[in-house]
Amino acid sequence: MGGQACVLFGAAEFSRDVDLAIVASPANLSRLRTALAELRAEVIAVPPFELKYLRKGHAVHFRCQAPEAAGLRIDVMTKMRGVDAFQKLWERRVTLRAEDGTSYQLMSLPDLARAKKTQRDKDWPMIRRLIEGDYFKHREQPKPQHLRLWFLELRTPELLLEIAAAHSEVCGKLLKRRPLLKFAASGNEAALIKAIAAEEQAEREADRRYWAPLKAELEQLRHARLRAG
């Protein structure tokens, strides 16, 4: 659901860690504990690896100690801002098979783009590359799902202008979902650029508000651990 997914979608060259979206159930956590034990993965920082923190929206962070994965960081989440519950994510997942036969279950491209709308600077260029890559791959014969994704998630003004001119009817139907499309429809590039920037800032602020109480809880956990230690 993170950088490795972006690598497999072709929008990144490498990622330093592995981000996993999981079902937060006792049985699933038991299976995950077994897998993490094989990697000699230890929790780093806070919160601890417990259901209640995952269900609140926290990420649990691990560092692997096994020789074949030494230093690898694994982040586990089950709930993300602006993204559907795991079951829907799983139903929409994309399965990629590597040359060695390994299968990778990836968050779908639309879901991954939504999950990347954070306050972190590095995520926004990644969204742009993800959607641009899909556009250039399918623009000669786009299906309805491609057009919907591009109109809702493209962050490249010239490409939004291009598809708005080519698919004006679809653009009009999605105006309520993404009001800045009115500038793409009218060919107003300057206004479109400003609107895309404003849209990003609004998402960053929404992400800050979402994480504020979670960060406060993490601080409480850190202080409690220091007092106990």
pLDDT, tens digit, for every residue of 71-127? 999 999 999 999 999 999 999 999 999 889 999 999 999 999 999 999 999 999 999
pLDDT of residue 98: 85
pLDDT of residue 82: 93
Instruction: List, for the chain, all residue ranges whose pLDDT scores fall below the cut of 70.
Output: none
Torsion of CA 195, 4, 146, 135, to 10 degrees: 70
CB 139 within 8 A of CB 158: no
Cα–Cα dist 170/184, whole Å: 12
pLDDT of residue 64: 97
- The residue ranges of every structural domain in the chain are 3-108, 123-209
pLDDT of residue 13: 73
C-alpha distances (whole Å) from 120 to each of 13, 112, 205 are: 19, 15, 11
Q: % helix / strand / coil in the chain, to the nearest 5?
A: 55, 10, 30
pLDDT of residue 226: 86
First-last CA distance in the chain? 34
Q: Tokens 């651990």 label which residue? A: 225
* Partner residues linked to 183 by β-bridges: none
**88 — phi, psi (to 5°)?**
-70, -40
pLDDT of residue 74: 96
Kindly give, in sequence order, each residue whose CB lies less than 8 Å from that of residue 229, ignoring residues fewer than 6 positions away. Answer: none
pLDDT of residue 225: 87
* pTM of this structure: 0.92
Note the maximum CA span of the chain. Answer: 63
pLDDT of residue 228: 83
pLDDT of residue 15: 81
